[in-house]
Structure 1
C-alpha cells in the first residue's frame, strides 16, 4: 500500500521556517494523491498497531483526523470499546485549544470550517494532561531523531511541553513520511519518542526510516 516516492526538495541554505513550509507543501501534495480507499485500508491497519503501542494505558489523547491525515476514527472507536478513556482537542474559551472526552462518533461536531470535529461537553483545560498515559500526535514528516514537522500552528509543540515526562508520545505518519534526512527545527519545536506506521511502531532512532519522500 506504499505510494511512489517523490524526492524532497533541496532546502539547504533556507532558514528554518521557509524550509518547513517547502517540506509541508511537498508532503501535503503527496498526501492529496492517496486514494480514499487506500487511506481507509491503512486506517484499519493502524488500529492494531496503535493498540499494541498503547498497551494497557487507560487515558489516551488522540487527534481527530481530517482530510488526508492518518485516520484515527476507527482507533478512537476501538479504544472506547476496550474501556479506555479518550481525549480529543476541543475549542475552549477565547479560541483556546483545550480537550474533551470522546464518547463516540455521533457525539462529534464540526464547529468551524476547516477545524477537526470536536466532542460535546465542557472544554477541559491543560491540567488534564497530567493524567494522560499516551498521546498520539499528527505530523506531516518525522525523522529518525524524533523531529516532526506538523501543520505549522505550533499547537502540539506547546502541548508537548505540558505533559508528564513518562507520557509516551507517538506520531502517526504514512510510511513514506518517516524520513532519513534531518528535518529543520527551531528552539520551540518538541521531539516525539515514537513513530507509528500503519503496520509497525518503534522508537525513533531504533526504527529504520522507511523511505524518503
Structure 2
C-alpha cells in the first residue's frame, strides 16, 4: 500500500503541491485551536507531501508558537521552535529542521494542536505513515483532548489502512478540500 501511495504522489506536479499547500494553510487556520498564544506541533513537508511551508509561516504570523520535529538516531522525535522560513538546518535523512535548540521529546505535550504527516488515513482515524513509528511515539505523549490531524491529499482520506497495536489514531484529516473529522 505504501508503494502504491508513494507512486501516486510522485505523479503530482510541483505546482499542484504548492496550490494544495496554500489551501491547506487556509483550512488549518479555521481550526479553533489556532489562535494567538497557542502552540501547534507541526512538521516540515518533504518531497511530494502536501506542502506545509505556507501553514508554518501563517501560524507564526498569527502569533502561534510552532514546534517542529528533529529526527533522533532512534527515530524518535525531539522538538524545536520554528523561527521563520530562513532558520533551517539539514537534519538526519536530509530533512529540514529548525535551527533552534532542542526542547526534548516531551515538548509535543505542550501543543494545543498536532499536525502530522501520513500517506493515508481510514475513516476511523488510523493513519498510515512511513513505517518508522516516529509519530506514533510522539502522539503517545499528547493528551487525549488535544486535536491531532494528518495532512494529506484528498484521495488519501477514507482508505482502509493496516493497523498495528502501537498505532495512534488521529482526530481529523486536512486536505486542500478542507478538514474531515474522523470517527
TM-score, reference length from structure 2: 0.92
Equivalent residue number for residue 160 of structure 1 = 139
State the aligned residue count: 181
**Does the alignment pair 1:176 with 2:138?**
no
2:12 partner SS = coil
1:105 partner SS = coil
Asked whether the 8 Å contact 2:136–2:166 carries over to 1, the reply is yes
Structure 2 residues without counterparts, runs of 5 or longer: none
**Which residue of the other structure, out of 64, 67, 91, is the alignment partner of 2:44?**
64
1:103 and 1:55 map into 2 onto residues whose CA distance is 17
**Does the alignment pair 1:197 with 2:165?**
no
C-alpha displacement of 1:95: 6.9
- Structure 1 stretch displaced more, 23-32 or 94-103: 94-103
1:141 and 1:105 map into 2 onto residues whose CA distance is 27
Asked whether the 8 Å contact 1:129–1:164 carries over to 2, the reply is no
2:42 and 2:115 map into 1 onto residues whose CA distance is 5
2:113 and 2:45 map into 1 onto residues whose CA distance is 17
Structure 1 residues without counterparts, runs of 5 or longer: 1-22, 206-213
Rg bigger for which structure?
1
Asked whether the 8 Å contact 2:82–2:100 carries over to 1, the reply is no
